Chains A and B, each alone.
Chain A
Amino acid sequence: MTIDHHKQSFWTKYVFSTDHKIIGIQYGITSLVWLLFGFVLMMIMRYQLAYPESPIPFVGGLIGEGGILPSEMYNSLGAMHGTIMIFLGVVPLAFGAFGNYFVPLQIGAIDMAFPKLNAASYWMYFLGSVIMGIGFFVPGGAANSGWTSYPPLADIATTGQTVWLFGMVMLITSSLLGSINILATVIQLRTEGMTWMKLPIFVWTQFITAFLLLLAFPPLEAAGVLQLMDRLAGTSFFMPSGLVVSGEVLTNAGGGSPLLWQHLFWFLAHPEVYVLILPAFGIVTEVIANNTRKPIQGYKSLVYSMVFLGFMSFVVWAHHMYLTGMGTSIGAFFQTTTMIISIPSVVILTALLLSLWGGSIRFNTPMLFALGFLPMFGIGGLTGLPLGLAAADIHLHDTYYVIGHFHYIVAPGTIFALFAGIYYWFPKMTGKRTNEMLGKLHFFFSFIFMNGVFMPMFIQGLAGVSRRLWDGGEIYAHAADVLYLNEVMSVSAWLLGLSQLFFIINMIISLKGEKTGEANPWDATTLDWTDTTSPPLGHGNFEKVPTVYCGPYEYSVPGSKEDFTPQSKKG
């Protein structure tokens, strides 16, 4: 396909564009809006948890009678919070936005392999997200069976669940197109000299993420089709015989199994965890290498660990299902694989920590977020180990401990890494600089309040407080001792929300600022910084497609004049 340079109208240039950079920004803006929306849902829920059954300020009028959050709606908000954060927020931002924008730039490609598919992928995502949003307006409200949509509950739930399933089918199609595109781009369009072991880690993580999306999502699509059949055509794939609902025996044929859904769902959703975390590793690696001014520790072990992580993520899914009554031998198998998969994660984290050793670290905003990521991901990962062992999981399953665990990985983990990425690449995308002061305020306040939200969850969970409780555990005697933490977490959550104002204001101020004209303000080595202008040329990215001679992290090479050697530098 030929890329033309003639003038384009606003619509073809910014809306129906096939340029990977514009599509990346479209993904980025849409997903940031959804992230904020998903967070607002949670802030509403946290009011109900902190002060059960009291009217909610500001948004109470939207919610219903007296401004008190009804329990049905609490379920809806919980389900949609999970769905929105994962499928409409973090994945599109980490994979859609960053992947689209920077993978072609870092491998020296002038665009993605299939630009039209790329645009189709974004618009599918957009459509899917609109469908998800429509769910809030159907009778009975949005999907309310949790983001996991476990049947039989989800099979008999209100219309919102059907809308959710249609939305998911669109999102799955979108991620399918996106992942094919990234894979084909990395395999086919690496520029001359860009061998596999010269790829920046960021590209590796996107590549493995794409594989996970490509192969893990279709079983969920299959499950979604089966659930749609259950809901619309009256089949009983997930409905056991003789199910009694509200005192009446259901008339469907029966003979199905709710466990079937769980298997198909977690076959996606466990690799999905790595879809959430791998791009974060990639961004953090780039930022750490750049700001320690030294090569990343153990490039090859990082790559091999990530590839191994990708493979292993397909054989651990049933550790989400220890309490389904599965046999001990199957349980033992999945415990073993779960313990094994923690090894590459530890290798990655260790390599990143060791990379700090002896570096002359620049503590700028992206670096702060990247450094914040390391311990937060560490806490999230280590608290996962007890959940991976069936004996401990029996106690901890479905408690707030689980919520604390995965939020530590995704919220202060991945989202911090994404912020690091935004601050790091903002100069490349706009040609302008962000405000360091506001950025640092954003980091420190976010860091404190993130921990304020999620640390108490471990305490509550260990005390046995279940997740998905509308009243926050008020009626349970065993929760009485830790109930005060609800208010601590809620206040932290709202303050965390306020801290994001620093980010929003920073973005607005910086976008209005002057262009600095610097192509490579961080003195980085990768092609996106060294061989393009800021922002990169509209079509084609490079004035001259670069040839690669050096590895991705050649910082402080002894004997060279500067402390960084661009990948495209000969010799």
Chain B
Amino acid sequence: MDIPFTVKNRPDTGLYNGKLGVWLFLASEVMLFGGLFSAYVFLRTGVDSWPVGADILNVPLATLNTMFLITSSVTMVMSWASLKLNDFKKFKLYAGLTLLLACLFLVVKYFEYTAKFDHHLFPSTNNFLGIYFTMTGLHVLHVIGGIFVIYYYWRKFDHNHRTLINNIFCALFLVAIFTNWDEGIKGYETTNGLISIVLLLVALVSSRKEQFKLKTKYLILGTFFVGALGIFNFHGTGYYLFLFLGLLAIADSFIFKSNTTYESDPEHFTNRIEIVGLYWHFVDLVWIFLFPVLYLL
């Protein structure tokens, strides 16, 4: 037996289950951010002086970020519309653009945060910065969550595509190892680094050639473990980059199973993209509130 209304609308509500589910989820998200906005009002009205956001925060960068997110909302809805028109290639294009814009948002956010830290402005400095870091931080987590979900539906399909993704990860991984190298791999760790590189190169080749029958994902896992042994010796940025990219690569090759919904049930797949879109618009909307409240008021 199938659970009813997973794809088709229930006549009296006009919704399929997932769409109702995501609206309910968003209702609770409204309460979450509503609680934080109320906290902001409460804190601000409780003290005599409160800084003007624009004096401390970087308004032009935030404006740029606002543009990125609004545009990403547009591309998101375009990707859904392309699926409705049965144009899968366009879907990949627009969903890819959404991913790109979301990543750009994070990059800008990274520069904003580090600029604050460089000026010794931390969450603990005062409550304005505290609430700024808390709210934007929580929003960034939502953006990252969105990226994972969109990526999950965007990646995959044929073998070549999968290989491409794997190779990109391997390449990034290699970059991380070399960055790490600069920060001083000596003695025992040299062997470690060398083994990692060899494993990755085998992974690169094996993912290209089917007849090698080597599981690329296990090689990536091996690389990660060999490299991760260095945790006792290094604490540089490069090393954390290595760990982060390694975990992403492992997540990519292990956790995410290839999604075959589009082939088996295009309407279901389209619905899922609609749901992801609803979430993504919400993330966008939160930012549209955050921007004036924190940066301008």
The interface of chain A, by Cβ under 8 A from chain B, is: 1-3, 109-111, 113-115, 117, 176, 179-181, 183-184, 187-189, 214-223, 225-226, 229, 233-237, 252-253, 255-257, 259-260, 263-264, 267, 539-540, 545
Contacts and interface: CB of A to CB of B under 8 A. Distances in A.
Contact of B25 (A3, A176, A226): A176
B4 A189 contact: yes
A256 to B, nearest CB: 6
Contacts of B124: 233-236, 252-253
A115 B1 CA distance: 13
25 contacts: A1-B3, A3-B2, A113-B17, A114-B21, A176-B25, A179-B24, A180-B28, A184-B17, A187-B20, A188-B10, A188-B13, A189-B4, A189-B17, A214-B24, A217-B28, A218-B31, A222-B35, A223-B39, A229-B134, A233-B124, A234-B124, A236-B124, A237-B127, A253-B127, A257-B42
Contacts of A253: 124-127, 130
Contacts of A267: 35
B1 A3 contact: yes
B84 to A, nearest CB: 22
Given A113-B17, A255-B43, A222 B32 contact: yes
Interface string B124-162: 111100110110001000000000000000000000000
Contacts of B6: 1
A470 B208 CA distance: 70
Interface string B1-29: 11111100010010111101100110111
B34 interface: yes
A165 to B, nearest CB: 14
Contacts of A237: 39, 43, 127, 130-131, 134
A113 B32 CA distance: 24
A252 B125 CA distance: 8
B133 to A, nearest CB: 7
B255 interface: no
A222 B39 contact: yes
B32 A221 contact: yes
B222 interface: no
B130 A229 contact: yes
Contacts of B28: 176, 179-180, 214-215, 217-218
Given A1-B2, A226-B36, A255-B43, 11 more contacts: A3-B1, A188-B10, A215-B28, A218-B35, A222-B36, A225-B134, A225-B138, A235-B127, A236-B130, A237-B131, A252-B124
Main secondary structure of the interface of A (DSSP, over half): helix
B15 to A, nearest CB: 7
A259 B45 CA distance: 13
Contact of B21 (A184, A221, A252, A545): A184
B3 A110 contact: yes
Contacts, number: 144
B43 A257 contact: yes
A189 B134 contact: no
Nearest to B46: A257
Interface of B: 1-6, 10, 13, 15-18, 20-21, 24-25, 27-29, 31-36, 38-39, 42-43, 46-47, 122-127, 130-131, 133-134, 138
Nearest to A236: B127
A235 B3 contact: no
A214 B17 CA distance: 17
B43 A256 contact: yes
Contacts of A260: 39, 42-43, 46
Nearest to B4: A189
Contact of B3 (A113, A233, A234): A113
Contacts of B134: 225-226, 229, 235, 237
A257 B47 CA distance: 9
A188 B133 CA distance: 39
A219 B122 contact: no
User: Which 4 pairs between the two chains have the least Cβ-Cβ distance?
Assistant: A234-B124, A222-B35, A219-B35, A235-B130
Nearest to A2: B2
B85 to A, nearest CB: 27
Contacts of A214: 24, 27-28, 31
B123 A180 contact: no
B265 to A, nearest CB: 11
Contacts of B16: 188
A257 B20 CA distance: 37
